[in-house]
Amino acid sequence: MRISKLFIVFLLIFQVSGCATHANQDPLEGFNRAIYKFNDVADGAIIKPVSKGYKNIAPTFVVKGINNFFNNIRDVVTVINELLQGKIKYAANDTGRVIVNSTIGLLGFIDVHSINGGERRKEDFGQTLGYWGVGQGAYLVLPFIGPSTTRDAVGFVTDTLAFDPISYINNVRGRNQLRIIQFIDARTELLNASSIMDEASLDPYAFQRDAYLQYREALVQDKPSGDIDYSDSADADYNYEAYTEEFNETISTENSKTQKISQAE
């Protein structure tokens, strides 16, 4: 059943990917902007307030522990994709990470591996397809998920249905509850990042699109980028600084200073 679902998704998405060219990687811009607007409204009305409330109410060690737990599950997906890419050395290291964090780290709630200086890598099936020569395809904005491409959409569905251990939980209610908590956890990490993006450009959609495409290409080439990854969760050393209005005002002040300097020049 899972294989048939994946096959249907592959066909539908790669039919769209043929529309993209090197000169125009966003042939679906009208559709994408509509989904982007929908995501923005849903985020502002429901998702962001819930994430802020969760971050402000829950103790820091709880927020961090839950984040570590989901990162540990995400490491399983990384190991599988490293094996598919033939990166045996990395796969062995990350397998050790999962074993250590799942046992000594109490199912990953404590990131023992990182505490002891271990490095966390992230690989997904979109990167695996890119590693074996599949192009990015057309830029695609997914409802609730955000920026993607036709290749990465296939990767996301494959990782979620085939590689993610949560998908193999037979209890539907329990599985769905975990997905909701996972989604809130991921959005909580991006509270400050989304504020920076909104302040950084007159067109946040274009800013997000360009940053995402550059970031994903860098990941496929194994060349870490300084761009923000707006679809993935942060690393284990993520700084859980509480979101505040003062933070947002600071960003606005810095942008104003930059504009004044540019005008003076």
In one letter, which amino acid is 120?
A: R
Residues contacting residue 232 through CB under 8 Å, at least 6 positions apart: 122, 186
List the structure tokens of 70. Answer: 């989901």
Quote the pLDDT of residue 147: 95
How high is the mean pLDDT of the chain? 82
Quote the pLDDT of residue 25: 87
Instruction: Write down the pTM of the prediction.
Output: 0.77
Location of structure tokens 């302040």 = 199
Residue pair 109/69 in contact by the 8 Å Cβ criterion = yes
List the structure tokens of 51. Answer: 């994430």
pLDDT digits (tens, 9 = 90+) for 224-253: 654 444 444 334 344 444 444 444 444 444
CA–CA gap between residue 35 and residue 39 (Å, rounded): 6
Residue pair 234/68 in contact by the 8 Å Cβ criterion = no
Secondary structure letter of residue 234 according to DSSP = P
Quote the pLDDT of residue 223: 78
Burial of 180 (0-12, 13-18, 19+ CB in 10 A): exposed
Give pLDDT < 70 ranges for the chain. Answer: 1-23, 192-201, 224-265
CA–CA gap between residue 138 and residue 148 (Å, rounded): 9
List, in sequence order, the alpha helices (H) in 1-119.
Answer: 2-17, 29-42, 48-57, 60-84, 88-103, 112-115
Quote the pLDDT of residue 100: 97
Quote the pLDDT of residue 239: 45
CA atoms within 13 A on the CB side of 90: 19
Q: Quick check: helix, strand or coil at residue 47? A: helix
Secondary structure letter of residue 44 according to DSSP = I
* Phi and psi based region of residue 143 (left: phi greater than 0; alpha: psi -120 to 50; beta: remaining): beta
Q: Where are the domains of the chain?
A: 29-253
CA–CA gap between residue 167 and residue 172 (Å, rounded): 9
Quote the pLDDT of residue 222: 87
Secondary structure letter of residue 230 according to DSSP = S
Quote the pLDDT of residue 14: 53
Instruction: Identify any residues that bridge with 146 across adjacent strands, giving them in sequence order.
Output: 142
